[in-house]
Chains A and B, each alone.
Chain A
Amino acid sequence: MQLTPDDIIVFTLAGWKVNATIVNTWIVMALLVGISMLITRNLRPDVPPNRWRTALEVIVKLIQSQIEEVTRNSARHVMYFAGTLFLFIALSNLMLVVPGFSPPTSSLSTTAALALSVLVAVPVFGIASGGVGHYLKTFIEPSVIMLPFNIIGEFSRGISLAIRLYGNVMSGAVIAAILLTVAPFFFPVVMDMLGLLTGMIQAYIFAILATVYISSATAEPDHPALKKEDKS
């Protein structure tokens, strides 16, 4: 039984073994980009949007509103990052129902890569927002004693993100595979449906947590929104 698609080598390119995780990632990427290109190829402000464009606008505006609720501003670069996280994870998890398709998110390498991306994105966005000094200062807040704990917390956030996503997606696939051997007709369907639900929830949680981390790094100390969050 394969627990991760990393072990499935699809083809070898110049000595580099291209596994199913990467290939399936490309498929998901191709789907996302292809659909986006197809819908947004002829956008004109004076033409009423069709149903596909409307659906896409609803999704994008939903992502934007969720991010704005967390960050209290409409920084587009955060949306590009967190929105892509959500769409990639969500579509990957939805493709769990495709027979023979192993979601890239069921690979710990993928979730680790996404977690590392968040781990790197947080200081990058923080430094881009307030400068290096302001970002480093957050590690000694509220006092210098908290420096090691803040550093540990920074790394543990990435690790927890990666493990949470991997565990949920992979566990769903594993449970479905096990139940398939026990009751091949009923339980896998129920589990797959449950997997779709948990996959969407995981995508939402991952993206929201990434947004929260980034917003906490980019928010100014005396920001009213941040103070309000601290009080709550």
Chain B
Amino acid sequence: MSIDWITVIAQIANFLVLVWLLKRFLYRPILNGIDAREAEIKRRMAEAGEAEKKAQAAEAEFRQQQKQLFSDQDAVVKEALRESEVQRDSLLAEARTKLEREQQDWHKHLERERQKFTAQLQRAGEETLLELTRKALRDLADESLEEAIVRHVSARLRPIVGELSEAAGDSKEAVATTRDTLPEAAQALLLADVQSLLPGIDLRFESDSQQAPGLILRVGGAQIAWTVDSYTEEFDALLNERMAAGASGRIQPTGT
């Protein structure tokens, strides 16, 4: 057992070289790698912690908003119900107004139709009545209706001749107005009666298509008339009564 000092020196050198080499290729890379990885892990942990804090903050905010939404939900529903009720009332009122207006228009329309129908019916009734009367007179008394009317007016003229003369005053003309022109015989009959009752008074004949069938004799401010209006009024009353009865179809018996 001996020590070779040259070998000792060489081994010291070898050892120092090995220290340097391992420091260069082992310790420093490994330790630096570990430190870097620890720093990386620490950084990622910090980022993860930060992200977790953000997530927790976001979650808290979300829960707060959710809570707020839940608390506001009742108020929102109540408000929506109130608004819907207001809108419903408004729509109902509008619909009701529109319906009432349409009903009024419809009633007016019906009334107009009824009046139009009644007028047409009245005219037709008058014409029919007149024709029937004329036919009855011709068949029963062999007399025309116009002559009968003239005789009726003359008969009514006779008791009030004095009053008519006063009413005539300075007027020297009497006017006989009919709807249709009077026949020659009726004109002659009326002219003869007027001249005999009211001497000095000229008679003039006029026709007015708007006038009711009949005869109106005007002397100054007075007049004597006979028209079918008085007869047709009863006819109109009967018609109105039947129209008012409507769909029931019941007809109230008249007193006549």
A contact residues vs B (CB 8 Å cutoff): 3-4, 6, 16, 19, 21-22, 25-26, 29, 32-33, 36-37, 40, 43, 45-46, 49, 53, 56-57, 60-61, 64, 76, 79-81, 83-85, 87-88, 104, 107-110, 112-114, 116-117
Q: Is the CB of B4 within 8 A of A37?
A: no
Contact with A along B1-40 (1 / 0, CB 8 A): 1111111111110111111011101110111111011011
Q: Chain A interface secondary structure, helix, strand, loop or mixed?
A: helix
| A21 contacts across to B, CB distance below 8 A | 4, 7, 11
User: In the assembly, what is the distance between CA of A226 and CA of B75, in Å?
Assistant: 75
Please name 18 pairs of A and B residues whose Cβ atoms are closer than 8 Å in the assembled complex, sorted by A.
A4-B2, A21-B4, A21-B7, A21-B11, A22-B11, A25-B14, A43-B30, A57-B30, A60-B34, A76-B31, A79-B27, A83-B27, A85-B15, A104-B11, A109-B11, A110-B7, A113-B7, A117-B16
Choose from A3, A19, A84, A109 the contact partner of B19 (Cβ within 8 Å).
A84
A26-B14, A61-B34 known; A33+B8 contact, CB < 8 A: no
Q: Considering only CB atoms, which chain B residue lies closest to A84 in the complex?
A: B19
Contact B34 A110 (CB under 8 A): no
In the complex, what's the smallest C-beta–C-beta distance from B30 to chain A, in angstroms?
A: 5
Among residues of A, the one whose C-beta sits closest to the C-beta of B14 is A25
B contacts with A: majority SS: helix
Chain B residues near A117 (CB-CB < 8 A): 12, 15-16
B37-55 with Cβ < 8 A to chain A: 37, 39-40
- Which residues of chain B come closer than 8 Å to A22, judged between CB atoms? 7, 10-11, 14
When A29-B14, A80-B27, A116-B12 are in contact, do A109 and B22 touch as well, CB less than 8 Å? no
Quote the shortest CB–CB distance from A78 to chain B (angstroms): 11
- CB of A109 within 8 A of CB of B26, answer no
Q: Indicate if the CB atoms of B4 and A19 lie closer than 8 Å.
A: yes
Separation of A29 and B10 alpha carbons in the complex (Å): 13
> What residues on B are CB-neighbors of A112 within 8 Å?
3, 8
Is A88 a contact partner of B3 (Cβ separation < 8 A)?
A: no
Q: Could you tell me if B27 and A60 are in contact, using CB atoms closer than 8 angstroms?
A: yes
Which residue from A40, A61, A104, A107 sits with its C-beta under 8 Å from B26?
Answer: A40
Give Cα distance in the complex from A22 to B9, angstroms.
10
B residues bordering A, Cβ < 8 Å?
A: 1-12, 14-19, 21-23, 25-27, 29-34, 36-37, 39-40
For A76, the chain B residues whose CB sits under 8 A away are 27, 31
Collect the chain A residues with CB atoms within 8 Å of residue B26's CB: 32-33, 36, 40, 56, 60
The answer to whether A81 and B19 have CB atoms under 8 Å apart is yes
Residue in B19, B25, B26 with the greatest tally of chain A CB atoms within 10 Å: B26
User: How many angstroms from the CA of A12 to the CA of B33 in the assembled complex?
Assistant: 42
Q: How many angstroms from the CA of A173 to the CA of B12 in the assembled complex?
A: 23
Distance, CA A25 to CA B7, complexed state (A) = 11
For the complex formed, measure the closest distance between the CB of A17 and the CB atoms of chain B, giving whole angstroms.
8
Q: Which 10 A-B pairs have the closest CB atoms?
A: A113-B11, A45-B36, A36-B26, A109-B7, A40-B29, A36-B25, A43-B33, A113-B8, A84-B19, A113-B12
Which of B7, B10, B15 contacts A114, CB < 8 Å?
A: B15
**Chain A residues near B37 (CB-CB < 8 A):** 45, 49
CB of A164 to closest CB in B, whole Å = 14
Contacts of B3 in A (CB 8 A): 108-109, 112
Q: Is the CB of A29 within 8 A of B21?
A: yes
Collect the chain A residues with CB atoms within 8 Å of residue B12's CB. Answer: 113, 116-117
Whether B1 lies near A108 (C-beta < 8 A) is yes
Task: Provide the residues of chain B in CB contact with A107, threshold 8 Å.
Answer: 4, 7, 11
Q: Among B5, B23, B29, which residue has its beta carbon within 8 angstroms of that of A43? A: B29
Give the complex CA separation of A25 and B12 in angstroms: 11
